[in-house]
């Protein structure tokens, strides 16, 4: 079983690269952003609460996300491994993930960290906003998502460096070249 965390700022290409990883390695995909958007679409209680945070570019509170992740994880019991996309996003989420996986007899094997310059991130997300109409892909919300990333999410790099699991990947350029770097990082722990 190989568990991969795909890590990076908003717009760094986590979703794009996750699709390629799933195709090649047959891992199950857990994207907390996708799960939350489905909850919002279905107007569940969790979705209604999440929407108030996401529309402002803030993180959904840790306790809600951790409970949600635990139940999604339990639905993937017979998996060959999981790719965690957009989770963890805070140190408490990182600690919770370690604990949840340990209780299930497994662990995070590698953290692929996509490194992209901020001007490129803003450009990609504005472009996606124009095409997909995703409500959080507008300039003001993108700015606060980047602030949240720098303040609350990027400290996880140190957390995983200390665990010797961080694999920094240059995340600019062609999707294929970026994926080649990711393949090396995953093959090294497989």
Smallest distance from the beta carbon of 142 to ligand B4P, in angstroms? 8
User: With contact defined as beta carbons under 8 Å apart, do 69 and 100 qualify?
Assistant: yes
> Which single residue is written with the structure tokens 């795909």?
6
Of 72-80, 84-92, 98-106, 159-167, the window that binds ligand B4P (rule: CB under 6 A) is 84-92
Q: Which is nearer to ligand B4P, 19 or 106 (CB)?
A: 19
C-alpha neighbours within 13 Å on the C-beta side of residue 129: 16
Q: Does 128 bind ligand B4P (CB under 6 A)?
A: yes
Residue 128 is among the residues annotated as catalytic for this protein: yes
Q: Which helix (H) or strand (E) holds 103?
A: helix 91-103
In 3-state terms, what secondary structure has residue 91?
A: helix
> Which single residue is written with the structure tokens 């679409």?
41
Of 40-48, 58-66, 74-82, 98-106, the window that binds ligand B4P (rule: CB under 6 A) is 58-66
Q: Does 38 bind ligand B4P (CB under 6 A)?
A: no
Nearby residues of 57 by Cβ (< 8 Å), 6 or more positions away: 136, 140, 141, 142, 143, 144, 145, 147, 148
Q: How far apart are CA 113 and CA 53, in angstroms?
A: 24
Q: Which is nearer to ligand B4P, 109 or 136 (CB)?
A: 136
Of 37, 89, 124, 165, catalytic: 89
Which residues have a catalytic role annotated? 14, 89, 128, 134, 145
Residues making contact with ligand B4P (CB under 6 A): 8, 10-16, 32-33, 36, 53-54, 59-60, 65, 86-87, 89, 93, 124, 128, 136, 145, 175, 178
């Amino acid at each position: 079983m190989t568990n991969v965390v795909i890590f990076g700022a908003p717009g760094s290409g986590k979703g794009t690269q996750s699709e390629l990883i799933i195709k090649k390695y047959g891992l199950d995909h857990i994207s907390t952003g996708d799960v939350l958007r489905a909850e919002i679409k279905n107007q569940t209680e969790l979705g209604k609460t999440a929407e108030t945070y996401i529309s402002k570019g803030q993180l959904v509170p840790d306790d809600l996300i951790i409970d949600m992740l635990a139940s999604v994880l339990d639905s993937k019991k017979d998996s060959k491994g999981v790719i965690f996309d957009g989770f963890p996003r805070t140190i408490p989420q990182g600690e919770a993930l370690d604990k949840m996986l340990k209780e299930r007899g497994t662990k995070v094997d590698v953290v692929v960290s996509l490194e992209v310059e901020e001007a490129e991130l803003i450009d990609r997300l504005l472009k996606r906003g124009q095409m997909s109409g995703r409500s959080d892909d507008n300039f003001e919300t993108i700015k606060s998502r980047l602030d949240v990333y720098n303040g609350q999410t990027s400290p996880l790099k140190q957390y995983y460096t200390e665990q010797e699991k961080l694999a920094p990947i240059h995340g600019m350029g062609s999707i294929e070249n970026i994926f080649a770097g990711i393949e090396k990082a995953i093959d090294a722990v497989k």
